[in-house]
Amino acid sequence: MITTPTLLLDEAKCRRNIRFMADKARKSGVTFRPHFKTHVSHETGEWFREEGVDRITVSSFRMAQYFAEAGWQDILVAFPVNILEIDVINDLAGSIKLSLLVESVYTVDFLAKNLKAPAGVYVKVDLGYHRTGVDDRDTEQISRIVKAITGSRRMQFIGFLSHAGNSYSARGRTEILKVHEESIRRAAELKENFINDYPDTIISLGDTPTCSIADDFSNVDEIRPGNFVFYDVMQTIIGSCSPEQVAVAMACPVVAVHPERNEIVIYGGSVHFSKESVADSSGRVIYGAVVEDHGPGWGDIVENAVLARLSQEHGIVEAPPAFITRFKPGDIIKIMPVHSCITASVMREYRTLEGKRITRLL
């Protein structure tokens, strides 16, 4: 029985999401190296293994250790190397096929001096998102980094990695594909510049919107989407998925009903959902979308019923009167989170519709 805020995981939807992306990678002839930062769970990892996945991406060395413990042997830590963690890096490099991400000669020089076991190295390039990475047009700087890598005994240069996080600003298929086409065009040019000197250079891309929507992966060798395993409200607004594909929802107890202002107060606040918000199609900022209760799972998104405000433990649901009056204290209301990666990170475990508890890295 659910008595406190609980993150529900619909295993069937989740497995369909995994199969969909694994199939697409296979058909497109690209390596599928899914990012495990969203679920961070041994058990969910096994569902990927059942779809033939044998290499993965994570965003911290702690996650790499966690998945190495579950037998994953080929792990890319797709985060600019934090050189302060050199001891953990050496432990991992000595026990699995570890790949690292770099974006400066400074870090490569540090690794050249301090790595005690072999590691693959990707160079992070910025194809337009401007979070981090070397600008792809700065081939001089990129050359210096690649030379520093290939000049080192322990490091093997793998290729160029980028994350088209700018796809998160896209709305709808056309805009997502525009981001994707720009990424693959620029990645292809970059590869062209290096392929003669480094014939095995690969291009690794991956964000959920473009990987969900695009079908053309020419010049791409590897994809690393992560969020698609669950999807969320933000992805439905971007246009990466339909609400039916979203595999997680929060179940929250109702603690107060305020019909005079069309609000329900739930036990479920920023310590449960996180404080991630998104503007819906009408421009309204929301923290979650209310869904129909449907047995152990959930159904459609309820029109105009949203998680409108959050404090530490309280959430305020705004909804039409006809919906509000269905609830009293002690009922459960189900809400699709805006950003499943972060909600899952703060909730720290899942409960399947069959009532099974699934743990994740704490």
List of residues contacting a second copy (CB under 8 A): 1-4, 37, 59-60, 62, 79-85, 103-104, 106-107, 110, 130-132, 165, 253, 255-258, 261, 265, 267, 270-271, 274-277, 309, 311-314, 316, 328-330, 341-342, 345-346, 362
Nearer residue to a second copy within complex by CB, 20 or 79: 79
What's the closest the beta carbon of residue 84 comes to a second copy, in angstroms? 4
Nearer residue to a second copy within complex by CB, 157 or 327: 327
CA dist 137 and 101 (Å) reads 19
What's the closest the beta carbon of residue 333 comes to a second copy, in angstroms? 12
What's the closest the beta carbon of residue 265 comes to a second copy, in angstroms? 4
Nearer residue to a second copy within complex by CB, 61 or 217: 61
CA dist 43 and 350 (Å) reads 11
Closest CA to 253 of 242, 265, 263, 261: 265
Closest CA to 63 of 52, 77, 82, 45: 77
Nearer residue to a second copy within complex by CB, 30 or 121: 121
What's the closest the beta carbon of residue 199 comes to a second copy, in angstroms? 28
Rounded to 10 degrees, the C-alpha dihedral 269/270/273/278 comes to 110
What's the closest the beta carbon of residue 177 comes to a second copy, in angstroms? 22
Nearer residue to a second copy within complex by CB, 155 or 316: 316
Look up residue 275 and give its two tokens.
């404080």
Nearer residue to a second copy within complex by CB, 129 or 217: 129
What's the closest the beta carbon of residue 330 comes to a second copy, in angstroms? 4
Nearer residue to a second copy within complex by CB, 43 or 349: 349
Q: Measure the CA angle with vertex 359, ends 85 and 357; round to 5°.
A: 175
What's the closest the beta carbon of residue 258 comes to a second copy, in angstroms? 7
Start-end of H helices in the chain: 11-28, 42-49, 61-69, 86-93, 105-114, 139-150, 173-194, 208-213, 233-238, 270-273, 321-324, 340-347
Closest CA to 229 of 40, 2, 1, 3: 40
Closest CA to 92 of 106, 108, 81, 102: 81
